[in-house]
Each structure stands twice: as C-alpha cells, then as structure tokens.
Chains A and B, each alone.
Chain A
C-alpha cells in the first residue's frame, strides 16, 4: 500500500523537527520564557483533559468508605473491584449493555458494508443517472426536516419502540459514502477494475475481490467512527423508545441514573435533609460510587478502541476535507 500524502508530510515534519533538535539552536532568553509558558499551558490543558477520567476510575476501585468521605482525590487507596461485580446485579444495566453492544456491532457492520458498496457504485460512471442519484444522497447532509417530523416519520414506519430503529436508519451515511468514493477514486487504479471487467468479472465480483480488499484502510476508519457513534448515541433511545425501557441504550440508562442522584444531592446541599430518612441519604451516597462505576463501564470501551482509532482519525479528517 502506497503511503498517503499525509503520512509523507508527517514524516517530513518529523525529520525536520529532529534536525532542529540535533542542531541545538541557541536559545535566547525570550525563547526560554516562551517555551516554559507554552509547555506549561499544554501540560495543564492535557491534565484537565485526562484527570477527570483518572479521578472517576480511582474512585470506583478505592475503599468505598474513604470515597464517601471524599478522601480519594489523587491516589487510590484500599483497591478492590467489588463495585464492578456489584453492577452485575443491576438488571436493567445488563440489558442496556446488551442492546448497546448489539446495535454497535450490527449497525456498524451494515453501515460499513453499505458505504463501501454505495461508494463503489457511485464511482461507476456508466450507471444510469449516476450524478443525479449521488447528489440525491449527498444533499441529505445539508438539510433535515427537524426532530418532530423525524419522530412522526419513524412512528409511521412502525420503528418506535423497535430495535430496528437503531440500525436501519444508520445504514445510509452520506459522509462515509463520500469518504469511500474519494478513496476509491484516488487510491485504486482504474486499470485494475478495467482489466477485471475485460476478464469478464461482474460488478459484484469486482467489488468483492478488488474494491473491498483495497479500500480496507478507509473502511477501518469509518467502522471505528461509526462504532463510536453508535455506542454514544442517546437521542434516538430517548425519543423513540419511550415505552420500551428494555431497549434503552447504555447512555440513556446512565443519563437516568445520573439524574436520580443529582436530584438527591441537590436536596442535601440545600440543607433540607429533615424530610428524608437517613437510609435514603446513605444509599444516595453509596449510589454515587455505583454511578461512577456505571460511567466508567460506559467509558471503558471508548478508551479501549481509542489507540486503534488514533491511527485512523487524522486520515479520516483529512479525507473529509476533500470534497466529494
């Protein structure tokens, strides 16, 4: 696989930085001050970006009593994993995890397959009405009817309170189709397809044996973005599954849990504790740990795929800058 222009540029920049490093340009005092400020700023910003995740994590694995007293702030103490085990007992949570996993896997697979196939089809110039249909598809990125007509439409189609609502509308992703199309046009030589055609290969065959294997890098990119999008989606569960709590996604479930807690703690901060019994308060405080743990469970998959994602997202965002 030839390196993309982006990768080459990256390398070039890297080398230049390395060269400058070796040369040890004489630092002026102004430069030193600038560097210190610059490094400090980025160190602080990065810290702000990662610390909350760390804080959340150490609070879920530390001794619950210490957490309740608010003593776990920087270092975990009394490490245990009971909280995670305790989550197994929460029934709703398990269904939500299952639903979310299912939609992530099925939805992403369908979306990637469809994007690859449609991306290939729209590169075929001989298709009847190609440019019109391509525009018909792409234009949908720039307008939408609004949330209420969307909801009414979904309920008209019988997709409310139905699992299919999570995956069927997600099959068509115009932006991803553009990405695949651009990739095929730029990275796969047209001669390959032509010669296969001369040898009598059908369109499906060309797609299956040439286009699909050769466009894997871009497919991996859209797969990862698609999967993260599916995992994170919350709005469709909130609006469409109003009377099917079994189909709530993990994000929706987490939203509900967080809200119950924030209401309880809000009452407490006002000092208005007289009306509430002590046990309710205690369970609310213990609830805090449980809520942290659920948040952590929701975040972990993202953090796990993140290293893989990183390889791809620069490519993705750069290709996106190229218009379809």
Chain B
C-alpha cells in the first residue's frame, strides 16, 4: 500500500515526462536528428522519421558528389522512426497509467520497451552524426551537433529509469485481475487524440506569433541574435510606405465590411417579401435557385464573372452584335466602383442563402399575431413592419453583431480572384494584404505583426459585441 502511494506520486512525473517527449516530437528546434545544415530547419523528429523525402530534400547534390553517404541518411531516418515509435510507446504507457493495477503493469512494460528502444536509436543518430561530421566538404554540408540531442537523451533515460522503478513498485501480478479503467478516464483517453489534433492545428500556430519579434527570412533560425523586440511594430507606424499601404488597406477593408453591414438588412427584406408570395411552387423555385450560388467557390464565381463580363463574354457579344459597342470590352479589368462591384458579387452569391434563416424565422412567428393585426386594420406593409420585423429582430441582432465583430475579416478568396493590375489599389483588403506580403513577398515578420494585430482586435471586438448583446438583450452570442 505504501508502495502504491509512492507510485501514485511518481506517476505524475511519469505522465508529464511522456507528454513532454510527445511534444518534442513536433518541435524542430529540439530535433535530435538534425545532424547538419542540409536538413531543413523546420524538420521535426516526427517528420525526419516518417518522411524520408523531407529529410533528404536538400541532399541531392551531397549524395551525387559523395559528401554524405545515402546509407547514413537511411540510418538516421530509421533511427528517428524507431525513436518516434518508442516515444509513442511511452505515451501509451502514460495513458494506461490511468487504469488499474494490471493496466499500469502493461503500460509500464510498454514504456520500458519504448524508452529503451528510443535510447538505443539515439546511438544510431549519434553514429549518423559522426559519419556526417567526417564529410569531405564540411563547408557545404555544415555538420552540427544537434542541440536537442542531450536533452532528449536525458529525458528518455529518465523515462526509462522511472518506468523501471514503477514496475518494481507496482509489485507482482495479481491473479485473475482484469484490465479495468474508470469510465471518466476511458472517455477522456478516447477524446485525447482529438484534443491533440486541435492543439496542433489551432493552438500551435499561436506559437508562430514569435516570428513577429525576430528579424526572420525563410530558412533562418530564431535566436537571440536576430531578436529585434518591437521593431516591426514600430516599423508599421514609422515607415512611410508601409503606413500608406496600411491606411489604404484599412480603408478598403472597412469600406467593404461597412457596405456589407449597411446592406445586412437585405436578406431579411428578401425573406419577408418572398414570404408574401402565395404561390408555393414559385416560392420554392425562387428559394431553390437563389441558393445555388452560395455553394460554388469564389474561383467559380470568377469563372461565372469571366463568362459574362470578359472581352468575349455574354455582355460583350450582345453589345457587339447589337452594334452598340464596336469592340468587346473586358469589364473585369476596369478599376472603377470596385467596392460596389465586390458588394454586388457578394450579394449574388449570398443573398438567397442568408435569407433562409429569416424564412425559417418567419414560419416560426405565431399566425395569430397576423390575424390580430388584420382585425385591427393593419395593411400588408403594417403587418410586415409591426409583426414580421420585430419577430425577426433577435436573429438580425445576432447576425449584425457577428458581422461587426468580423469587420476586419473579409476573407481573401473573393478579392484574390477578382484582383488584377488595374484594381489592386481598391481591392486590397487586410487578409489579402497579409497573404501578399507574407506568402508572395516573403516579409514574414511584418505580415505576422499585421495578422497578429488583426486577430487580437477581432477577438476584442467579438467580446465587445458579446458584452453589448448581454447588456441590451440579456443574451450572449458566443
């Protein structure tokens, strides 16, 4: 019993260690398999184990010239793979430690094997390093002892020791004991993979915000040397060109979001007037076909725009055939009324779809209200204004607040596909600007700064909108 209590305390250390090792799998900085400069800096242990192609992406020349033997890299790859599997074993052991005595015995066994295998593979990595270090062309290959090697090895050895101790503390196998784990832990373990996925794809990117504080170019490493503090934040305000760009971009973003918000009553009006149509077939028909554009991508919307408005599209051929224009015109190339055009395309795509929620809302309004209003002598428009509109207002408020919260987020697809040389100045919204600056031009720190500010402001706006909603209507929207 005393042993069990001690073991319980040790188990926390054990689980934390396993989690730490698991995280290390994803961290390129701690990759013990990065034996030389030719291995990409952003390669994690997991990648070097499971993707040989990524590991040797830059080795083509080194292999051909015989600077590095291909077998060395195979050793490295296989070692990393086994190391990953060993760490997976440790993680599995940690998961099993939530169960009863028998589960723990099995878990400990798995993690002993796993950590032992991983420790062994570290030797393989070391061999690979010594072979690479003995290269003929150290300048080209840049052998460097992986920074993560000793820490990872230390963790693994510690893991091995702890799991052996635990196995000893656990005592002998109890006869006829079955595997058992409390329901709450079982459910949690089933949930765990999804938590990890969420963490990796939704939370881990936040770690990328650190690029905002470094002088970074593709392929660099982040270190104290290129740490620049708030330089890029200041640059945003001080640098004349960037400042001008930002002002223009914000103008476009706010204008387009503002137009969207100013017309946010349109779907409601659409729904109200549509419900005035008593011919059920026709109403269904309209509802069906006005929704289709919502389901095609912006690229396809552009394809549609292209077939209607380009030089040899529908409009041009009609105009030319009627003799009004002497030559086809490409209306997509013009740089005038860009904001309005984008608004109209947005409406074409989204109006019918956005109306659906209001149509559903209208069918939820009590019919007696209409009857009562009719008895009181209300006309058609009065009924709309005094019965239908108030009935739809809650939905409208929520959607309005959401769109206010998303004022900086226009999405980039629409503007990217419609962008061309003559409308760039008016079409460049924040999302597109960040994409252009970061991905196309490679100014990663500056674009990270802009994106970061945008994210923070958006979250603040969302909470603000939520607070306002709580204050006014006593209901939250998120």
Contact = CB atoms under 8 A, between A and B. Distances in A.
Interface of A: 6, 9-10, 12-14, 16-18, 20-21, 31, 34-35, 38-39, 41-43, 45-46, 48-50, 52-53, 55-56, 59, 68-71, 73, 114, 117-118, 121-122, 124, 126-130, 133, 136-137, 140, 142-153, 155-158, 162, 168-169, 171-172, 203, 228, 231-235, 238-239, 251-252, 254-255, 258, 261-262, 265-266, 268-269, 271, 285, 288, 291-292, 295, 298-299, 302-303, 306, 309-310, 313-314, 317-318, 321
B383 interface: no
Interface in B393-439: 395, 412-413, 416-417, 420, 431, 434-435, 438-439
Contacts of A156: 26, 28, 42, 44
Contacts of A127: 184, 187-188, 191
B303 A254 contact: yes
Contact of B306 (A31, A137, A258, A310): A258
A269 B459 contact: no
A251 B26 contact: no
B333 interface: yes
A169 B190 CA distance: 18
Given A9-B364, A145-B209, A313-B356, A158 B43 contact: yes
A251 B213 CA distance: 35
Q: Report whether over half of chain A's contact residues are helix, strand or loop; otherwise say mixed.
A: helix
Contact of B438 (A130, A148, A234): A148
Contacts of A258: 299, 302-303, 306
Contact of B448 (A148, A158, A239, A309): A148
B299 A254 contact: yes
Interface of B: 26, 28, 42-44, 46-47, 50-51, 54, 183-188, 190-191, 194-195, 197-198, 200-209, 211, 273-274, 276-278, 280, 282, 285-286, 288-293, 295-300, 302-304, 306-308, 310-312, 314, 316-318, 320-321, 327-330, 332-333, 348, 351-352, 356-357, 360, 362-364, 367, 380, 395, 412-413, 416-417, 420, 431, 434-435, 438-439, 444, 447-448, 451-452, 454-455, 458-459, 462, 478
Nearest to B453: A146
B451 A146 contact: yes
Contact of B357 (A21, A71, A321): A321
Contacts of B297: 231-234, 251
A137 B198 CA distance: 7
A149 B451 contact: yes
Given A9-B364, A288-B312, A153 B205 contact: yes
B123 to A, nearest CB: 25
Contacts of A145: 205-206, 208-209, 451-452, 455
Contact of B286 (A46, A56, A118): A46
Contacts of A157: 26, 44, 46-47, 200
A50 B292 contact: yes
A103 B425 CA distance: 35
Nearest to A39: B277
Given A148-B434, A268-B311, A303 B380 contact: no
Given A49-B289, A142-B478, A302-B295, A16 B198 contact: no
Given A42-B286, A49-B352, A144-B205, A73 B431 contact: no
A233 B362 CA distance: 33
Contact of B314 (A53, A55, A121, A310): A55
Most chain A CB neighbours (cut-off 10 Å) among B51, B310, B321: B310
Contacts of A149: 205-209, 211, 448, 451-452
16 contacts: A13-B362, A17-B280, A43-B286, A45-B351, A70-B312, A71-B321, A147-B439, A148-B439, A152-B444, A231-B297, A239-B439, A262-B310, A291-B303, A298-B299, A299-B303, A310-B291
B385 to A, nearest CB: 14
Given A18-B280, A55-B314, A147 B451 contact: yes
A203 B186 contact: yes
A45 B285 CA distance: 12
Contacts of A232: 295-297, 299-300
B306 A262 contact: yes
A298 B296 CA distance: 9
B413 A265 contact: no
Nearest to B381: A34
B360 A318 contact: yes
A16 to B, nearest CB: 6
Contacts of A318: 357, 360
Most chain B CB neighbours (cut-off 10 Å) among A144, A153, A158, A162: A158
Contacts of B278: 17, 20-21
Nearest to A171: B197
Given A146-B455, A149-B205, A149-B211, 15 more contacts: A9-B363, A17-B278, A20-B278, A31-B380, A46-B290, A48-B348, A121-B190, A145-B205, A232-B297, A254-B299, A262-B333, A266-B420, A288-B312, A295-B304, A302-B295
Contacts of A168: 197, 201
Nearest to B314: A55
Nearest to B190: A121
Contacts of B458: 143
Given A73-B314, A148-B448, A10 B195 contact: no
Given A158-B44, A251-B297, A126 B316 contact: no
Nearest to A309: B295
A70 B310 CA distance: 12
Contacts of B308: 52, 55
Contacts of B277: 35, 38-39, 42
B212 to A, nearest CB: 9
A50 B289 contact: yes
A17 B279 CA distance: 8
Nearest to B43: A158
Given A21-B278, A70-B320, A255 B299 contact: yes
B299 A269 contact: no
A48 B278 CA distance: 22
Nearest to A295: B303
Contacts of A203: 183, 186-187, 190
A288 B320 CA distance: 18
Nearest to A13: B363
Nearest to B301: A52
Given A70-B321, A124-B187, A148-B211, A34 B198 contact: no
B300 A295 contact: yes
Nearest to B54: A158
Contacts of A39: 277, 282
Contacts of A231: 297
A235 B300 contact: no
A12 B380 CA distance: 21
Contacts of A9: 360, 363-364
A121 B43 contact: no
B396 to A, nearest CB: 12
Contacts of A59: 307
